[in-house]
Amino acid sequence: MPPNSSLAAEADVSFFGPDEVQAHSQLVKLEEEIQSAIDQIPGSWEAAAIGGSAVTDKLLQELLSRMRGQIRDLELLSEEQDTDDQTAAVEACVELHQAEYQRLAAAIATAKRQARRQQQQTAEQQRRELFAGASLPALQREYRSVAEAVGGTRQVTESLQRARAVLGQQVEQTAATMAVLDSSNAVLGAAKEEFTGQQQLNRR
């Protein structure tokens, strides 16, 4: 049996009359229609977002309601059979369709949960991308600010280096000046001593 095919598709209809065969065939066709709708649920919200057709809860409920009605019709046919074998065959087919109904209802619930989870994940991804895109200009501004700060620091460093060189030159010039002053002071001191000595000689 192919995956997701109707549980009642292989029912024994050898004891069925025309009405029972028709009711059974209609149910199998409806079950295939419901399964097809279930398969479309995961991408249904995306289709709706771009203006396409979507599998709605209303549609799914209508399909399940139709299936319940047709199963009931088949149950009524089982009560009209002429022999026990015919009755047993129709009742067995009814049970298969009832089991298929339960499977389809559970599959709908599972598919809807998966679709909601997928939608939430997609929305979260879109939010992350949106926030990342929105913060990009701020990051660019920050990077520019950092680059400007680095450039400013480099300029300050170069200015400090130039100032240091100038100060070094000034220190050297000051040292030379001090040396000249020291030499001048020594000369003046010697001249003063000589002048004082001459004054003392003149007094004598």
**199 confidence band (pLDDT: 50, 70, 90):** very low
Task: Answer yes or no: are the C-beta atoms of 15 and 89 closer than 8 Å.
Answer: yes
User: How many other CB atoms are found less than 10 A from the CB of residue 105?
Assistant: 15
Name which residue leads in pLDDT, 35 or 5: 35
Does the predicted TM-score (pTM) go above 0.95? no
Q: What is the mean pLDDT of residues 90-112?
A: 96
Over range 144-172, report the average pLDDT: 66
Q: How far apart are CA 38 and CA 25, in angstroms?
A: 20
Q: What is the mean pLDDT of residues 25-35?
A: 96
| Burial zone of 128 (CB within 10 Å; 0-12 exposed, 13-18 middle, 19+ buried) | exposed
Structure confidence at residue 202 (pLDDT)? 46
47-78 confidence digits (pLDDT tens)? 555 555 678 999 999 999 999 999 999 999 99
Backbone angles phi, psi at 33, to 5 degrees: -65, -40
